[in-house]
């Protein structure tokens, strides 16, 4: 499974934060501290979820608890993404949470591939600081993830 992304630098419209969130965090030390906490939680959560995905692959017969941990980590990231101006992070996180919630358990290796691709997409959003409403190239990414989710909801 491969998801194509546009390696070109995102357009300003694709990375622009909402004016309210930018102005507020730039001038409010409390919100700035909350933002820093969110970024740390997101980096740590994605790293932990990635490690858990590898662990789930090693335990294909009994990985329900592991995938539930991934769900909780991503659910927290998804929930806070909009608050800090990352709607794409929230959208991809929602897709992954829905996938984990409804997929047949235990999760197969193929299904864990879909989990990994979502985690990579979430990391891409943070690494490239993609704020604001996503542009067309990122909408295609979300569409590809949605297609994989639909295609992979039940084991082969």
Kindly tell me the sign of the dihedral angle through the C-alpha atoms of 130, 40, 1, 70. Answer: negative
Task: Identify whether the C-beta of residue 79 lies closer than 8 Å to the C-beta of residue 91.
Answer: no
Burial (CB count within 10 angstroms: exposed 0-12, middle 13-18, buried 19+), residue 141: buried
CATH of domain 19-151: 1.20.120.160
Q: What is the pLDDT of residue 96?
A: 97
Specify the pLDDT at position 72. 98
Q: 39-77: string of b/e by CB count within 10 Å (b at 16+)?
A: eeebeebbeebbebbeebbeeeeebeebbebbbebbbeb
Q: What is the model's pLDDT at position 138?
A: 87
> What's the pLDDT score for residue 26?
57
pTM here? 0.81
Q: How far apart are CA 19 and CA 54, in angstroms?
A: 39
Which residues of the chain are under the pLDDT cut of 70? 1-26, 154-156
Residues in the chain: 156
């Amino acid at each position: 499974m491969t998801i194509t992304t546009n390696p070109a630098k995102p357009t300003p419209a694709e990375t622009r934060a909402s004016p309210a969130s930018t102005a507020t965090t730039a001038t409010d030390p409390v919100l700035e501290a909350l933002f820093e906490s969110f970024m740390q939680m997101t980096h740590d959560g994605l790293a932990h979820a990635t490690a858990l995905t590898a662990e789930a692959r090693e335990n294909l017969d009994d990985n329900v608890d592991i995938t539930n941990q991934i769900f909780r980590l991503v659910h927290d990231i998804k929930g806070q993404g909009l608050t800090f101006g990352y709607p794409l992070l929230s959208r991809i996180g929602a897709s992954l949470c829905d996938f984990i919630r409804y997929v047949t358990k235990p999760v197969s290796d193929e299904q864990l591939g879909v989990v990994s691709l979502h985690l990579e997409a979430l990391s891409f959003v943070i690494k490239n600081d993609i704020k604001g409403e996503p542009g067309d190239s990122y909408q295609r990414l979300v569409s590809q993830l949605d297609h994989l989710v639909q295609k992979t909801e039940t084991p082969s």
